[in-house]
Amino acid sequence: MVLNSGACVTIIGRDNDRLKNALGKLQTESARCSGSALDVTKSDEFSLFLNKHTHFDHIVSMLGGAISGGFLDNTTDEIEKVVRGKFIDNLKLANIAIEHLNKNGSIIFTSGSGGSPATASGAYIGNLSINKLVQGLALELAPDYRTV
């Protein structure tokens, strides 16, 4: 675990109670862990947070929601919200975060691997879009930065 290697970890989460719970668990392993409650999908909040901190070696994004059911089981608005949350929100994060990433640092995006178009519609498409975002950013940011 990165905390055991002496890394300084900062967690951002929208839900203050869940953030406090996570920090409570992590701070038992290392005192080098801090957190802030904010919504990184709000570019102003995220930029303000990053401007108050030093640069980062690695940024991990777990942005994106879930949806069950096929394309015809959900409204286009519901599907669009999930795809937007996975692709556009992560793209915004990358655009802002790159200015605060140390050289040779990385941006790591998480996407789901389960489901199918018939059982996870928007989430499935959103996950594919994250994977394509990573491929494109990897080419654009190389060799100074990594995306995973």
**CATH at 140:** 3.40.50.720
Residue-range definition of the domain harbouring residue 103: 56-147
61: nearest Cα among 113, 8, 96, 109: 109
From first to last of the 148 residues of the chain, give the pLDDT tens digit. Answer: 677 777 888 999 999 999 999 888 887 655 688 899 999 999 999 999 999 988 999 999 999 999 999 999 999 999 999 999 999 999 999 999 999 999 999 999 999 887 888 999 999 999 999 999 999 999 999 999 998 8
**Per the structure block, which two tokens stand in for 22?**
């996570």
Contacts of 38 (CB under 8 A, 6+ apart): 12, 14, 45, 46, 49
pTM exceeding 0.85:
yes
User: pLDDT tens, 1-39?
Assistant: 677 777 888 999 999 999 999 888 887 655 688 899 999
Residue 6 domain-assigned?
Answer: no
Total number of domains constituting the chain: 1
Residue 11 domain-assigned?
Answer: no
